[in-house]
């Protein structure tokens, strides 16, 4: 009987989980696409030596459309100054490596890593759903927060225009709105936001993490530069829109030394208030951020994570209400004391401005019978 040849295969694992051979990344925050916590299996790319060489290709952004069944998301968190919000998009192309919203992509059976910044979900039609919800007899107005999960003015908004449609509905109802963003497209909507602000119905928070252009490009690869975000503050302020500079997250041993400088730059650009929240690393964000530290600033990685754990009771993150947004311990108290002193010196407030709710009205729809009173 002839000998049967035995074939031996050598499998070479690729370090970047699920980044396929031939794929290239450019201006992305995460280089990992490991599965989310709800998936039963993980996917790991490997080279078995049999693949035909292919031309390298960039990982492109994909946008899927979702038909929203509801517009307003409600929360009862004692840590937040609002109880309702709107999310025009799922995922965010800005690609900020520290983004606390990354774990939400796991609910879509997508990775909180690269999928979060490349496989986006747009929600066209959410403005029409919002119109219906605001007309309900039981609805009572209070400020709506937009941008507290993913950025409503991320690059895809230039093509989709969903945020502008939402603002048009809010303007028609004269409904108060708090907007948080780091995207330049908000300047397009000054014509809608400024009249609302003039009636005490709108304000904006602009996020700036660092004034270091190089560090910002590594942490927030597709977000506008710090200088460009200061320009956004200036343009909104000149239009009469109250602006708060949001210095979040404040990263210990990496950006915390810039707290006062960022606050002063925001004040000089026209911000009326300033706030800062220490770094939070919930769920999958923790491993993604640690990988980024080791790859980007390996000399400071251990120090940063040591301070982060000091902030959160010895863990990467403590989700307990009252602690998750402020941190705990000596370093947290020092940071908040520094922020208080800087605000006092610069003449800045801390919180969001109070917005009016007494102007809310339900506008008539085409074909509605007009009231005599």
- 232-276 pLDDT, tens digit per residue, is 999 999 999 999 999 999 999 999 999 999 999 999 999 999 999
The larger pLDDT score, comparing residue 91 to residue 43, is at: 91
pLDDT band at 4 (very low <50, low <70, confident <90, very high): very low
Any domain includes 24? no
Q: What pLDDT, on a 0 to 100 scale, did the predictor assign at position 31?
A: 80
What percent of the chain is modeled with pLDDT above 70? Answer: 87
Q: How many domains does the chain have?
A: 1
Span 128-147, average pLDDT: 98
pLDDT band at 37 (very low <50, low <70, confident <90, very high): confident
Any domain includes 19? no
Task: Reply yes or no on whether the pLDDT at 371 is more than 70.
Answer: no
Q: What pLDDT, on a 0 to 100 scale, did the predictor assign at position 180?
A: 98
Burial of 42 (0-12, 13-18, 19+ CB in 10 A): exposed
The larger pLDDT score, comparing residue 307 to residue 38, is at: 307
Task: Reply yes or no on whether the pLDDT at 324 is more than 80.
Answer: yes
Any domain includes 372? no
Any domain includes 106? yes
Q: What pLDDT, on a 0 to 100 scale, did the predictor assign at position 33?
A: 80
Q: Is the dihedral of CA 124, 68, 104, 336 positive or negative?
A: positive
**Residue of 204, 181, 183 lying closest to 192 (CA atoms):** 204
Span 77-93, average pLDDT: 96
Span 61-71, average pLDDT: 96
CATH number of the domain within which 179 lies: 3.20.20.70
Mean residue pLDDT across the chain: 90
Any domain includes 28? no
The larger pLDDT score, comparing residue 44 to residue 121, is at: 121
Q: What pLDDT, on a 0 to 100 scale, did the predictor assign at position 45?
A: 61
Span 133-155, average pLDDT: 97
Q: What pLDDT, on a 0 to 100 scale, did the predictor assign at position 15?
A: 39
pLDDT band at 361 (very low <50, low <70, confident <90, very high): very high
Task: Reply yes or no on whether the pLDDT at 179 is more than 80.
Answer: yes
**Residue of 158, 178, 163 lying closest to 124 (CA atoms):** 163
Q: Is the dihedral of CA 13, 17, 18, 23 positive or negative?
A: negative
Any domain includes 366? no
Task: Reply yes or no on whether the pLDDT at 153 is more than 80.
Answer: yes
Q: What pLDDT, on a 0 to 100 scale, did the predictor assign at position 188?
A: 98
Task: Reply yes or no on whether the pLDDT at 171 is more than 70.
Answer: yes
Any domain includes 125? yes
Any domain includes 52? no
Q: What pLDDT, on a 0 to 100 scale, did the predictor assign at position 5?
A: 39
> The domain containing residue 317 runs over which residues?
60-346
**The two three-digit tokens of residue 260, written as one number:** 């006062």
How many Å apart are CA 207 and CA 85, to the nearest integer?
Answer: 18
């Amino acid at each position: 009987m002839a000998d049967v040849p035995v074939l031996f295969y050598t499998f070479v694992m690729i370090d970047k989980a699920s980044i396929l051979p031939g794929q290239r990344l450019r201006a992305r925050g995460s280089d990992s696409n490991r599965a989310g916590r709800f998936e039963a299996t993980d996917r790991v790319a490997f080279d078995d030596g049999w693949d035909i060489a292919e031309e390298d290709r960039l990982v492109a952004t994909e946008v899927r459309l979702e038909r929203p069944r509801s517009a307003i998301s409600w929360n009862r968190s004692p840590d937040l100054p609002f109880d309702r919000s709107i999310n025009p998009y799922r995922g965010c192309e800005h690609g900020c490596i520290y983004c606390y919203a990354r774990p939400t992509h796991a609910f879509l059976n997508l990775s909180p890593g690269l999928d979060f910044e490349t496989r986006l979900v747009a929600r066209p039609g959410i403005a029409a759903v919002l119109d219906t919800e605001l007309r309900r007899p039981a609805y009572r107005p209070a400020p709506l927060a937009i941008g507290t999960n993913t950025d409503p003015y991320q690059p895809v908004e230039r093509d989709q225009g969903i945020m502008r449609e939402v603002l048009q509905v809010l303007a028609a109802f004269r409904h108060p709105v708090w907007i948080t963003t780091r995207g330049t497209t908000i300047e397009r909507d000054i014509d809608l936001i400024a009249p609302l602000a003039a009636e005490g119905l709108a304000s904006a928070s602009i996020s700036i993490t660092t004034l270091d252009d190089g560090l910002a490009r590594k942490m927030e690869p597709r977000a506008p530069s710090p200088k460009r975000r200061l320009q956004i503050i200036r343009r909104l302020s000149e239009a009469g829109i109250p602006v708060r500079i949001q210095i979040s997250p404040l990263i210990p041993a990496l950006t915390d030394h810039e707290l006062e400088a960022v606050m002063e730059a925001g004040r000089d650009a026209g911000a009326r208030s300033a706030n800062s929240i220490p770094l939070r690393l919930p769920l999958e964000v923790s491993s993604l951020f640690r990988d980024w530290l080791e790859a980007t600033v390996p000399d400071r990685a251990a120090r940063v994570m040591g301070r982060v754990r000091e902030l959160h009771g010895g863990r990467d993150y403590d989700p307990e209400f009252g602690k998750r947004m402020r941190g705990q311990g000596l370093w947290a108290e020092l940071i908040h004391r520094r922020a208080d002193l800087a605000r006092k010196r610069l003449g800045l407030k801390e919180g969001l401005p109070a917005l009016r709710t007494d102007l809310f009205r339900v506008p008539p729809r085409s074909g509605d019978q007009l009231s005599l009173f």
